[in-house]
Amino acid sequence: MNKNTKYKLFKLLNALLAMLLAASVVCVVVASTMTGVLKSQGFLEKKLQTYSAQTAQQLTDEFVKLSDKTGFSQDAYKNAFTENDTQLIFKTVAGNFQLFYSTEFSDDSDLYNCIKTRLTNYCEDNGLNYTDREISNNAALCVDTVNQIMGGSSTKIRVFGIVKSNIMIYAVVAPIILAIACIVALDLLNYGRHRKYNYIGLGFSTAGFVLASSGVFIRLQNYSSQYSFCDNKIYSAAVSDCFSFFVNICIALGVAFAVVGVVILAANLAYYTKKERRIKAVHEENSQLRSEYMEQISNKPKDNSSNGSDKGKLTLSNK
């Protein structure tokens, strides 16, 4: 194997380590960011709360339809299930997402008893004469209406189950170890010289470019909002908002890693440029000194004692 082939293999190995470093960084960023966003029940609950007004309007419309059908008071239905109850259910739904549970309220005895009590109190306070059986039937219909709008949906989304498991821990820890190993390998392969930073910077900038460009592409294509995560449109929209936030973080971190990588490459280029100038200056100085030395030698007066007569020269006699 000649020297040129060895050099090509050396560069190829360095490039492969740089790409492996980039893949490790991408994996760490994606896994850790997704875990941080989707594992936070409070964050998902906050996203759900943004749809409170929309949900309340849907419930009001359904209660109007139910009232027209049963003849029961619309206000009684509205009083039986308020906006505060909507927020409490959102909290339950967020917990169901985190726990990988389904959301179903049709058989929820607590919700039924609460609505029945409120309907009974409303009828008593407003002088409405309904039997206990009629109130019970209307309470059951009210629960079914609430379940139609806010339940009856599978909130067992696979990605939440993955985030909850130990898979994401391995998906973060293993790439971190691999990234450290790549940096150490680059250092050893380059004997600790500055050229290793070329490949480290290449790895970081590549990872940043992949993260940022992929995130921008997803945002432009609007994949997160078009994808249906579950049957309930409101819950699907809230989860979509979480994923949009996740994509935005990936874009920001991608830009940050790209900038860090470019800075490392620029700093390394500046180092080698400065080093090359310094070496060139030393060479020029040495060349100038050599020229001056040769000029001094050439201008030195010659010794003419050996030229001319043989006066004073020792001669041997045959005597």
Tokens, residue 290: 């050599």
Q: Residue 264's domain spans which residues? A: 3-37+168-278
Cα–Cα distance measured from residue 282 to residue 38, given in angstroms and rounded to the nearest whole number? 60
Q: Are residues 32 and 174 in the same domain?
A: yes
Full pLDDT tens readout for the chain, 319 residues: 677 888 888 889 999 999 999 999 999 999 999 998 988 888 889 999 999 888 988 998 999 999 998 888 888 988 899 888 888 899 988 888 888 788 888 888 889 999 999 999 999 888 888 889 999 999 999 999 999 888 867 777 888 888 888 888 999 999 999 999 999 999 999 887 888 899 999 999 999 999 999 999 988 887 766 677 888 888 888 888 999 999 999 999 999 999 999 999 999 989 888 888 888 888 888 888 888 777 778 776 655 554 544 544 444 444 4
How high is the pLDDT of residue 301? Answer: 64
Q: Are 123 and 76 in contact (CB under 8 A)?
A: yes
- Residue 52 within any structural domain of the chain: yes
- Residue 209 within any structural domain of the chain: yes
Q: Are residues 28 and 65 in the same domain?
A: no
Of the candidates 44, 35, 34, the one whose C-alpha atom is nearest the C-alpha of residue 235 is: 44
3-class SS of residue 153: strand
Q: Are 225 and 244 in contact (CB under 8 A)?
A: yes
Q: Taking phi first (over 0 means left), then psi (-120 to 50 degrees means alpha), and beta for anything else, what does residue 111 get? A: alpha
Cα–Cα distance measured from residue 167 to residue 156, given in angstroms and rounded to the nearest whole number? 17
Q: Which residues contact 75 (CB under 8 A, 6 or more apart)?
A: 122
- Residue 291 within any structural domain of the chain: no
Strands (DSSP E) found in the chain: none
DSSP structural state of residue 51: T
Q: Are 220 and 252 in contact (CB under 8 A)?
A: no
Q: Are residues 145 and 52 in the same domain?
A: yes
130: Cα within 13 Å, side-chain hemisphere: 23
Of 97, 124, 150, the residue at which a domain comes to its end is: 150
Alpha-carbon Rg for the chain, nearest whole angstrom, is 40
How high is the pLDDT of residue 6? Answer: 83
Of 122, 150, 178, the residue at which a domain comes to its end is: 150
How high is the pLDDT of residue 1? Answer: 63
Query: Furthest-apart CA pair in the chain: how many Å?
Result: 168
Q: Are residues 179 and 259 in the same domain?
A: yes
CB burial of residue 282 (10 Å; 0-12, 13-18, 19+): exposed
Cα–Cα distance measured from residue 256 to residue 246, given in angstroms and rounded to the nearest whole number? 15
Tokens, residue 268: 């390394």
Q: Are residues 32 and 49 in the same domain?
A: no
Number of domains in the chain: 2
Q: Are residues 54 and 79 in the same domain?
A: yes
Of 95, 118, 150, the residue at which a domain comes to its end is: 150
Cα–Cα distance measured from residue 54 to residue 44, given in angstroms and rounded to the nearest whole number? 17
